[in-house]
Structure 1
Amino acid sequence: MKWSNQFPTKATSPPNTHAPPPHPPRLPGHPGQLRRPGNRQARPDFTAKDKDGKTVSLADFKGKTVVLEWYNPGCPYVKKFYDVGAMQNAQKDAIGQGVVWLVINSGKHKLNDAAGYLPRHP
């Protein structure tokens, strides 16, 4: 069967229910569309502790390109991309070009719980 974005080509085909919404999502109580910060626009600062307990601030990397990776060791997609080395390769390539790559553990696992996972997935 051939599919189009709007209508199936055969009467027995189910309709395409995976079409994108007609408009971008809106913030609750905000009449306009969501806006993304432009390139080179300052991002809000934040601080967090690194794996060694040292406080790191986004402001520490002012003027540099920073990638923020939200990491959850319980996520099957995270596991897949780390298990095949895809994330490590992307990190090494970016860091080799002077990019700062910060990994933020957004899972329920605390640092001590993730300590066994980190050596296997540097």
Structure 2
Amino acid sequence: MDLASKLDTRVRIERKTVTLDPAYGTQEASWSVFANVWGEVRDVLPSRAERLAETITIANRPARVRVRYLPGLAADMRLIIGGRIMQIISGPAMLGRREAMELIVEDHSTEGDAP
């Protein structure tokens, strides 16, 4: 099976944009669409997670996502997969000769964010 046959999930990739509020001088963050692509999404199973870096915990529902090579894809972006908002915690790593990219993502937590 080639990569194209495994890309069965629609993934929206968003980039963070920070602007300055002219009235108050505070920063306002918003997300804009970077790309809508097909991807392969696989949740990381507990048995496999034990072999990964200690910073990845199963409570955060990590997943591995593969997409076709996408220039400009960066670790400070986020993914929307179905109803899940996912933050990139590892990658993007290039596979082959610009054939695909792989990311490790986990459910986004607003814990610690300002209201």
TM-score interval (norm. to shorter): under 0.3
Question: Which structure carries more relative contact order (alpha carbon 8 Å, separation 6+)?
Answer: 2
Report which of the two structures shows the higher radius of gyration computed on alpha carbons: 1
Q: Which protein has the bigger helix share?
A: 1
TM-score by length of 2: 0.28
TM-score, normalised with respect to structure 1: 0.27
